Amino acid sequence: MQIFHRSTNTISRATIFGAIFIVAVLLWAAIQFQRSPYVTYEGVRKPQPVPFSHQHHVAGLGIDCRYCHTSVETSSFAGIPPTKTCMNCHSQIWTGAPLLEPVRESYRSGKSLVWTRVNDLPDFVYFNHSIHINKGVGCNTCHGQVDRMPLMYQNASLQMEWCLACHRAPEKVLRPRSEVFNMQYQPPSGAHPVKFEGKQYDDQLALGNELKREYHLRSVSDITSCSTCHR
């Protein structure tokens, strides 16, 4: 005797396939959410005590990154400038601007401004600025064209897949150390060759591979090892 109607088989199959489809969609949605700016803060301009413009200071005034970020070549941290660095100029220009009152108050009181960190990695990730700088990784490779940012924002997702893309093929982004802080630097091409050690390069991979040897980069297996960044 048949207990269930034959249509039950069709309903069962549809239910199983439907459940698989729903789970796949939910998984896809979760992955997309995890990569979205809502989670990564990519492209998000965070509020600051003073609306500092890199565009004005870097592109407009031509101030070198190292004037403010003094430890970037020797330390794991790029460093946030003390108020005195700001006042080197602003004790003489824009001295009464209401916009800069928090800076003047910080200088008078000796209490540091509390800046909101823009590029903030999780505590379980170790990142060293000096290593990247001294191996020929340009500032704007990671931070983007800060000279075009009226308000600073995070240029990339900073997720592991983004870091690994570079660590797996560093030759694609390396540049001569003399060009690390040059925001206008262009990778070598036929129209814009790059000179290094007296030799002219018009191909990024050729230059990058030469720089890997010259700057003694560790092997890809080393720099993609878990213990390199997770210590």
* pLDDT per residue of the chain (231 residues) written in tens, 0 to 9: 556 666 677 777 888 888 999 999 999 999 999 999 999 999 999 999 999 999 999 999 999 999 999 999 999 999 899 999 999 999 999 999 999 999 999 999 999 999 999 999 999 999 999 999 999 999 999 999 999 999 999 999 999 999 999 999 999 999 999 999 999 999 999 889 999 999 999 999 999 999 999 999 999 999 999 999 998
Closest CA to 99 of 152, 62, 52: 52
The per-residue pLDDT for 153 is 97
The DSSP secondary structure of 165-226, one letter per residue, reads HHHT-GGGT---GGGTT-TT-----SSS-EEETTEEE--HHHHHHHHHHHTTPPPHHHHTSH
State pTM to two decimals: 0.85
Residue 61 lies in a domain: no
Residue with tokens 């600025």: 129
Residue 96 lies in a domain: no
Residue 113 lies in a domain: no
Give yes or no: residues 33 and 127 share one domain.
Answer: no
Give yes or no: residues 126 and 218 share one domain.
Answer: yes
Give yes or no: residues 220 and 127 share one domain.
Answer: yes
The per-residue pLDDT for 5 is 67
Residue 42 lies in a domain: no
Owning domain of residue 178: 119-229
Residue 55 lies in a domain: no
Total of domains in the chain: 2
Computed on alpha carbons and rounded to an integer, the radius of gyration of the chain in Å comes to 25
Single-letter code of the amino acid located at 154: Q
The per-residue pLDDT for 195 is 95
The per-residue pLDDT for 81 is 93
The per-residue pLDDT for 2 is 59
Residue 86 lies in a domain: no
Give yes or no: residues 132 and 225 share one domain.
Answer: yes
Residue 156 lies in a domain: yes
Token output for 157: 């997702």
